[in-house]
């Protein structure tokens, strides 16, 4: 080996690092990661302030409102926004991508309004069992659902055009508006102030996104490359998949609350869940930023397979690195920062971080199924894992408490990752796109 070989190798590594940094900058990954990090910080501080100002009873009201709004958003828009994202990402020019957005907009707004009215009607019916928690405020919050849905659609469109920096800015401004409205309202007027402040923040965020999209709207109108029927078919299956994903990630908290009726125990486990989601930030940002290019490579089998392999490797590195860092810091950081009462959060957190790495392994394959239009297969994997998650939680929580919840979540996330990997490698050649 010559003396120049090492230098050449170092140069090659340095060039690769600079190239990776340049690509990350070009797709706005740094901006998206920064925005998501700030959003998580603001969300944590908001919940901390609300819990202290409103007390446990008031925070219980907020929990049921947020849970219901989360499901409402899934049914009202999440599937259709994924459909718009997928089809708009496949377009090379902005005019055709905008045409996809244009036909999806009325469908999504109509769906969100219908879900809002459904929530209102249910809360005034004997079916609603949370009167003591949410009172008459749920219908008012439900009317804010179309604003949150429109904001979500607009940021998905920006993502489809790989305008990640603008998406990051809008998400930060939206979170900041909701944060200021909710916190200021709760401090001044209690739970009533939280409701009105949150609604004001949602409307401000929605208006910011509308203004931004109007500024980049193409002047020329073209026909949509997909029909409303194709968009709706894909969107319906995406809704089902989103609901299963919600169950997969949230069933443990709901089951602990229902089975133990212990708010303190739920809070201890909830902290572990929050910290696990912090570890997910870089991987989620990377997956969001690279999804449009994944869609556009779907027609080339060799290039698509190479793209998936590269993205899977990067996802594992990001999720594994952040999980390892948090796992090493948690035994000291958690009790020191949050207090000795939260020391029991460390054990479930370490288990959840294992599931986090498993999730990263499967996430890119799940997105590859969506990129190719195989959304029904993605739903099947999520449904199986969600059902096992609920069953495992109901079995293990009574015996092992929060450790059992963490074990159940890890089992289901590992199973989900295995399912989507097998579908991609074995069954994918025989699948038919869901929108056809």
> What residue segments make up the domains of the chain, in order of their start?
26-226, 237-436
Q: Rounded to the nearest 5°, which phi and psi values hold at 102?
A: -65, -40
End-to-end Cα separation, the chain, in angstroms: 58
Q: Closest Cα partner for 65 from 120, 142, 149, 176? A: 142
Q: How far apart are CA 33 and CA 285, in angstroms?
A: 6
Q: How far apart are CA 135 and CA 127, in angstroms?
A: 14
Q: How many CB atoms lie within 10 A of CB 207?
A: 14
Q: How far is CA 16 from CA 184, 331, 396, in A?
A: 47, 35, 46
- For 358, counting Cβ atoms within 10 Å of its Cβ (0-12 exposed, 13-18 middle, 19+ buried), the class is buried
Model pTM score: 0.66
Q: Which residues lie closer than 8 Å to 86 by C-beta, 6 or more apart?
A: 234, 295, 370, 371, 373
Identify whether the C-beta of residue 315 lies closer than 8 Å to the C-beta of residue 290.
Answer: no
Q: How many CB atoms lie within 10 A of CB 214?
A: 8
136-149 b/e (C-beta count within 10 Å ≥ 16 → b): ebbbbbbebbbbbb
Q: From the DSSP assignment, how many helices (H) and strands (E) are in the chain? A: 13, 0
Q: How far is CA 279 from CA 188, 290, 358, in A?
A: 34, 19, 13
Q: How many CB atoms lie within 10 A of CB 107?
A: 17
Furthest-apart CA atoms within the chain: distance in Å: 82
Identify whether the C-beta of residue 58 lies closer than 8 Å to the C-beta of residue 190.
Answer: yes
Q: Which pLDDT tens digits describe the chain residue by residue (436 residues)?
A: 333 344 444 446 555 555 555 555 554 555 555 556 666 677 667 766 766 676 655 555 666 666 666 666 665 555 677 778 888 888 888 899 999 898 888 888 887 777 777 777 776 666 554 444 455 566 667 777 788 888 988 988 998 888 878 888 888 888 889 889 988 988 888 877 888 888 898 899 999 999 999 998 898 888 888 877 777 776 666 666 666 766 776 677 777 777 776 766 777 787 777 778 777 777 877 777 777 777 777 777 777 778 788 888 888 888 888 888 889 988 998 787 777 777 888 999 999 998 888 888 888 888 887 777 777 777 777 788 888 888 998 999 898 888 998 999 899 888 888 888 888 776 666 555 554 3
């Amino acid at each position: 080996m010559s003396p120049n070989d090492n230098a050449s190798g170092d140069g090659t590594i340095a060039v690769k690092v600079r190239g990776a940094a340049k690509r990350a900058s070009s797709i706005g990954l740094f901006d998206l990661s920064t925005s998501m990090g700030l959003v998580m910080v603001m969300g944590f501080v908001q919940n901390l302030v609300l819990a202290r100002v409103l007390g446990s009873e008031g925070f219980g009201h907020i929990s049921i409102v947020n849970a219901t709004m989360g499901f409402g958003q899934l049914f009202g828009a999440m599937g259709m926004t994924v459909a718009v994202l997928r089809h708009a990402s496949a377009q090379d020019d902005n005019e055709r991508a905008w045409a996809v957005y244009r036909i999806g907009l009325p469908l999504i707004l109509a769906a969100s309004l219908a879900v809002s009215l459904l929530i209102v009607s249910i809360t005034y019916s004997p079916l609603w069992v949370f009167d003591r928690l949410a009172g008459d405020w749920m219908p008012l919050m439900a009317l804010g659902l179309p604003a949150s849905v429109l904001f979500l659609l607009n940021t998905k469109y920006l993502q489809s055009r790989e305008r990640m920096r603008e998406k990051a800015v809008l998400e930060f401004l939206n979170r900041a508006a909701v944060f200021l409205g909710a916190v200021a309202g709760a401090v001044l007027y209690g739970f009533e102030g939280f409701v009105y402040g949150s609604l004001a923040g949602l409307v401000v965020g929605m208006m910011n996104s509308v203004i931004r999209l109007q500024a980049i709207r193409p002047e020329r109108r073209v026909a949509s490359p997909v029909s409303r029927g194709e968009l709706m078919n894909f969107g319906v299956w995406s809704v089902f998949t989103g609901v299963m994903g919600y169950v997969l990630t949230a069933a443990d908290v709901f089951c602990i609350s229902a089975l133990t009726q212990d708010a303190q125990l739920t809070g201890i486990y909830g902290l572990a869940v929050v910290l696990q989601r912090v570890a997910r930030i870089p991987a989620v940002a990377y997956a969001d930023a690279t999804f449009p290019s994944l869609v556009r490579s779907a027609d080339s089998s060799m290039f698509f397979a190479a793209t998936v392999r590269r993205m899977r490797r990067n996802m594992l590195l990001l999720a594994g690195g952040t999980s390892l860092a948090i796992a090493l810091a948690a035994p000291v950081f958690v009790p020191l920062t949050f207090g000795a009462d939260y020391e029991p959060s460390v054990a479930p957190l370490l288990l959840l971080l294992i599931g986090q790495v498993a999730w990263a392994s499967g996430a890119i394959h799940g997105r590859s199924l969506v990129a190719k239009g195989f959304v029904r297969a993605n739903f099947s994997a999520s449904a199986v894992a969600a059902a096992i998650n609920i069953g495992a939680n109901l079995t293990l929580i009574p015996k092992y408490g929060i450790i059992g919840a963490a074990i159940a979540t890890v089992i289901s996330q590992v199973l989900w990752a295995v399912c989507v990997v097998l579908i991609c490698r074995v069954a994918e050649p025989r699948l038919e796109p869901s929108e056809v």
